[in-house]
């Protein structure tokens, strides 16, 4: 098959392209190589792939990108929190407008096949919680006064009691709490709209949890917490762990994420709807920092700072049952083994600085 991988020069996309080529498929990569994320074309783009450096926000680019393809893996996205209101137009343009152009081009080409979307666990907002008295509840955003006082756990919105964090299933109501999250949810809705309008289009939304591994971006607005901690350790500095380090996440290795894309793109039957792509073994941010430091002899131990960022969620981790039962996906790389590799892995070069 000929498969289009948008954002295929990026962190996850390059692993997807690589695994597709290993399985004997033709791969067309379309990537804008935004200077905020890339210092030119990275060396890890597979040589056997067709690389088109272009911006999907352009309708003609989108039409050329989808010409003759049998399936689409839509990884291209502007990532990060989008915490600054001034970033709104860029996030909407790169994530929503570009997706809309891609979908229109697919409709014009009378595309019939699988469209796999890279979505994110951020569409859930805060994770799932249960109160001993009121059952499953949805806490609101944490109050700054509580965070400043070191009260990091969200209370029950009905009685104020402590809550038990639980795994989030795919049918949990979405609650995007930043600009990036809102655009990812909108991407899901746009793709689902195409599938409803066009027979033969099958959409799979893979909601990635905290992805880490080789080729992760370094020192950019796109860097995740694992990359930030690794960069600190390389400078001989202790990783600075926010809050009390007990925030629960699900850290999933990038090769496992790429394999989930293979199952969605190439499985015997299309798997439609949303799927949590996660390790299924939630760990704390403190656990991750300690595992990473332990993989580097002589590295300083992480420091828990008590600092916080407004808009961060406390606990969010996945129920991976649907991905296992429908896609046949289970993660293979545990945190300690993954961090032992990540401590020495090649990361993406820093982006060019403007000014």
Residue 60 Cα to chain centre, angstroms: 27
DSSP 40: S
Which residue is catalytic, options 180, 208, 212, 222?
Answer: 180
Angle at the Cα of 128 from the Cα atoms of 126 and 133, rounded to 5 degrees: 120
Burial call 244-278: b when 16+ CB within 10 Å, e when fewer: bbebbbbbbbbbbbbbbbbbbbbeeebbbebbbbb
Name the residue with tokens 């860029």.
Answer: 90
Which alpha helices (DSSP H) does the chain contain, by range?
A: 11-22, 59-66, 88-91, 98-108, 144-148, 179-197, 225-234, 254-266, 285-294, 321-322, 335-342
- State phi, psi for 140 to the nearest 5 degrees: -80, 180
Residue 136 Cα to chain centre, angstroms: 26
DSSP 354: P
Catalytic (active site) residue 180: yes
Name the residue with tokens 């941010």.
Answer: 285
Strand 283-284, strand 248-249: pairing:
antiparallel
DSSP 217: B
Kind and range of the H or E run holding 184 = helix 179-197
Kind and range of the H or E run holding 51 = strand 50-53
Catalytic residues, by residue number, are 180
């Amino acid at each position: 098959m000929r498969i289009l991988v948008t954002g295929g020069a990026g962190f996850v996309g390059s692993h997807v392209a690589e695994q597709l080529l290993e399985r004997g498929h033709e791969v067309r990569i379309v990537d804008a190589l935004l200077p905020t994320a890339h210092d030119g074309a990275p060396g890890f783009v597979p040589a056997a792939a067709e690389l088109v450096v272009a911006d999907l926000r352009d309708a003609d680019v989108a039409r050329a990108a989808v010409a003759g393809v049998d399936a689409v893996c839509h990884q291209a996205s502007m990532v990060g929190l989008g915490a600054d209101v001034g970033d709104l137009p860029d996030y909407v343009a790169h994530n929503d407008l570009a997706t809309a152009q891609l979908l229109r081009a697919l409709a014009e080409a009378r595309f019939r096949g699988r469209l796999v979307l890279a979505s994110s666990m951020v569409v859930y907002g805060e994770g799932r919680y249960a109160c001993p008295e009121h059952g499953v509840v949805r806490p609101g955003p944490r109050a700054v006064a509580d965070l400043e006082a070191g009260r990091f756990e969200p209370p029950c919105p009905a009685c104020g009691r402590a809550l038990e964090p639980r795994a989030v299933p795919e049918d949990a109501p979405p609650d995007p709490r930043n600009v990036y999250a809102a655009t990812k949810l909108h991407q899901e809705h746009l793709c689902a709209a195409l599938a409803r309008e066009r027979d033969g289009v099958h959409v799979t939304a893979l909601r990635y949890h905290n992805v880490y591994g080789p080729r992760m971006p370094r020192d950019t607005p796109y860097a995740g917490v694992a990359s930030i901690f690794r960069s600190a350790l390389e400078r001989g500095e202790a990783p600075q762990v926010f809050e009390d380090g007990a925030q629960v996440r699900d850290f999933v290795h990038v090769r496992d994420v790429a394999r989930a894309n293979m199952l969605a793109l190439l499985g015997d039957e299309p798997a439609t709807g949303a799927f949590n792509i996660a390790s299924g073994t939630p760990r704390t941010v403190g656990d991750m920092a300690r595992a990473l430091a332990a993989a580097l002899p002589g590295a300083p131990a992480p420091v828990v700072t008590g600092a916080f960022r407004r808009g961060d969620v406390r606990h969010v981790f996945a129920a991976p049952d649907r991905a296992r039962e429908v896609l046949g996906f289970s993660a293979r790389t545990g945190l300690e083994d993954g961090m032992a590799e990540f401590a020495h892995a090649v990361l993406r070069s820093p982006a060019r600085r403007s000014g």
